[in-house]
Amino acid sequence: MKKEVLDKLKDDLNIIYEKYFTEEDNKWIIDEYGEDAFVEFKEIPDFELESLDSELKINEVEFNNAKILYKNLSFLNESQACDERLWAGLCHTTFYKYLRKRWGYDTRDIKEARKEASAIKSRFFFSGGTRSGLFRNSISKCWWLGHNTFDSSKENSFEKLDIIGNNDISTKISDIFYSYSFVANPTILNGIVRMFKYFHDKDIIISPRKYVRPAIQFLNTVGGGVLLDYLSEEDIAKIMIDKIEDIMKNEKNYITKTKATDNKSEYENSIAKVDNKNVVEKDISSEKVVKGNTVKARCLETDDVSNYIVDYISGTNKIPPLAKMFLDCGIGDVVEFKGKSYKIEEIV
């Protein structure tokens, strides 16, 4: 798609959004923006996406389409595959009918069109920047999922994708590939795949929202104190497996733990009172960071606040380098690390 046509379409979206509901083919684009609205980038091989009329669930359809799209468009390099013109062009030509059916625009009431305007922008174009666009555009996200998990050295080139699984694939794309740029590192991604395989081999289906999301958030927290690039696949997998199993364990012991916590709270409250009137406040002025603490620190150069776990990386006897520098420091202390200054704001 030509850049000027792409920009005009996006600018006019609040006016033309009904077209996506009413027009069965893309002739309206040519009528509105001219016969040269599209330019041939490369010859696309003739292939079909997984049918939306099959008995498969939508997550299974998109999972299969990740393989189909990447297999047939594997000639694209990453620079070309980051170009909004390519994906917007395909969404408004080759895959226009597929996308209308995918999102129900071919059957839904036209009254719903107005509230879909912003969604159309992200599904047929890019919105929120290039990285966001890549994993929100309905066709691009499938290609990039296939690209990131394809391994030509394997007998099954999509073995990684099969291990990750198709259950709630949209959440996995968002939480794993879109939300964290460090997944572009093959070692880190392989570690995440190892985590999925660990539970797969135990016949345990793990919910992306309930288990994978907090585990990868925890991995990101660990990354605040150590460069994840220095960890092995095994280290990455172990960190996430331990976190997920900890969540599962806490669920099983929820009632017992809640009761124990309540008793502890009552005890702590009872000794904090003086004459039943004055509460003794904790003196934090002399508190120092020890192993096992979590430190909340602010980067003075960027003003970003992050939590750093001052403890051994799971399965190792190493404390993340930055986290290790917080040892024996107190609230208000500033630590210098790799050219940046980190001020301790809280010790937990």
Domains of the chain by residue range: 3-158+172-177, 180-254, 294-347
The H or E element spanning position 238 is helix 233-252
pLDDT tops 90 at residue 273: no
Specify the pLDDT at position 314.
Answer: 75
pLDDT tops 60 at residue 342: yes
pLDDT digit string (tens) for 285-320? 457 898 888 998 887 766 678 889 998 887 788 898
pLDDT digit string (tens) for 143-189? 999 999 999 999 999 999 999 999 999 999 999 998 888 888 999 99
pLDDT tops 60 at residue 258: no
Specify the pLDDT at position 301.
Answer: 63
Of 247, 251, 329, the closest CA to residue 295 belongs to 329
Specify the pLDDT at position 81.
Answer: 95
Mean of the pLDDT values across residues 124-140? 91
- 270: helix, strand or coil: helix
Distance CA(99)–CA(220), nearest Å, equals: 34
Specify the pLDDT at position 123.
Answer: 95
Mean pLDDT of the chain: 85
Sign of CA dihedral 259, 263, 265, 266: positive
Specify the pLDDT at position 253.
Answer: 65
Of 132, 57, 56, 36, the closest CA to residue 87 belongs to 132
pLDDT tops 50 at residue 12: yes
Distance CA(220)–CA(181), nearest Å, equals: 10
Specify the pLDDT at position 283.
Answer: 39
pLDDT tops 90 at residue 63: yes
Higher pLDDT, 100 or 254: 100
Of 142, 149, 162, the closest CA to residue 72 belongs to 142
- 222: helix, strand or coil: helix
Distance CA(137)–CA(124), nearest Å, equals: 6
Confidence of residue 337 (pLDDT cuts 50, 70, 90): confident
Amino acid at 146: G
Of 148, 217, 227, the closest CA to residue 189 belongs to 148
pLDDT digit string (tens) for 199-214? 999 999 899 989 999 9
Specify the pLDDT at position 225.
Answer: 63
Of 102-111, 157-166, 191-200, 337-346, give the lowest mean pLDDT range. 337-346
Q: How many secondary structure helices (H) and strands (E) does the chain include? A: 17, 6
Specify the pLDDT at position 286.
Answer: 52
Entry pTM: 0.72
Percent of the chain surpassing pLDDT 90 = 56
Distance CA(135)–CA(174), nearest Å, equals: 7
pLDDT digit string (tens) for 25-39? 999 999 989 878 888
Specify the pLDDT at position 302.
Answer: 67
Mean of the pLDDT values across residues 92-110? 95
Please give the structure tokens belonging to residue 268: 């702590």
Distance CA(237)–CA(226), nearest Å, equals: 16
